[in-house]
Amino acid sequence: MDLWERARAFAGEAAKKSQELSAEAAKRSSALVSETAKKSKEIFSETATKSREIAAEATKQADLLAGQIKRLSTDLPVPSIPAIPPIPSAVAPEPDAEELERYGITEDLREFVKGMTISTFRDFPLQDEPEMSDVPTVSNVRQDLNEWQARHATLVLSAVKEISKFRYELCPRYMKERKFWRIYFLLVNNYTSLYENKYFEELKKKAEEEKKDAKKEVSETSQATTAEQKDIKAQSKTSTSTNPEHDLDVFLLGDLGSDDEGPDGDDGGLDDDFDKIDGGSGLESDDDDKEKSAGKVESAKE
């Protein structure tokens, strides 16, 4: 019985201590929360005060800087800025009516194309041909077309929207580029063949004219060269005939005649003439003068 009383007393005392500890903990927690709130309020108030001071200082500095910039802008002359020209558009210019007509893009062709559909190309009875080589594609047009067809295809893609739409939907999903253009030119052959033949006839005629002009230019150049050579020869003959040394020789020796006037090597008569001239003139050579002078000296010694 005493043990039970003691246990009961101990439990009551423990409960009392627990209540006291709980009350103390609650009191301390309340005090701590109150202290924390107070500190937080103080920190917040101080932070707000600092922020207002910083904002006021920044505003003051900004106003000063704005005033300085305004004064500088009024002092400095403002240069005139030239007008910027408009940037040209990157879109390719529309082809003129003359070019469209030259490459067969007429109103009749447009009306015929309007009657085409996707099935017109897709169901056309044409077998796919194996390509012999990898032909490049430039400006959305394959380069296995001839010159006129390539330009026609480029123009028709920009001028006739139906063809551009058909090509976009069919190539390369249903057919290759090569097959698409073969079918197209077979379909519109009655509308384009006349313009294509006319184009190549004009090219052929132009090539023949250029060939004739080239031959004419070569002939004129050759004639001018021949005339210059003749002038050079004539000048050479004139300079030779007016040579003063040649004229002096002719004057002193006389016209002895050409080689055709007598037999070759017949110089005996000429030598005889010179001998006669020497004998008849009474002139003596230097050797004869020396001999006579030596004889006179010997006579004087004797």
User: For position 37, what pLDDT does the model report?
Assistant: 85
Dihedral sign, Cα of residue 212, residue 213, residue 216, residue 221: negative
The per-residue pLDDT for range 108-159, each reduced to its tens digit, is 999 999 999 999 999 999 876 655 555 555 454 555 799 999 999 999 999 9
pTM above 0.75, yes or no: no
Structure tokens at 65: 């800087």
The CA distance from 224 to 218, in Å, is: 10
User: For position 261, what pLDDT does the model report?
Assistant: 47
Domains in the chain: boundaries: 1-72, 97-127+145-214
- Helices 189-241 and 147-159, axial angle in degrees (round to 10): 130
The CA distance from 148 to 35, in Å, is: 95
User: For position 177, what pLDDT does the model report?
Assistant: 92
The CA distance from 281 to 271, in Å, is: 16
The CA distance from 145 to 66, in Å, is: 69
Q: Which amino acid is at 184?
A: Y
User: For position 105, what pLDDT does the model report?
Assistant: 95
298 φ, ψ (degrees, to nearest 5): -65, -40
User: For position 169, what pLDDT does the model report?
Assistant: 94
pLDDT beneath 70: ranges in the chain: 1, 73, 75-93, 128-143, 236-302
User: For position 114, what pLDDT does the model report?
Assistant: 92
User: For position 124, what pLDDT does the model report?
Assistant: 93
User: For position 250, what pLDDT does the model report?
Assistant: 53
User: For position 136, what pLDDT does the model report?
Assistant: 54
H or E element at residue 138? strand 137-138
Count Cβ atoms below 10 Å from residue 252 Cβ, excluding itself. 7
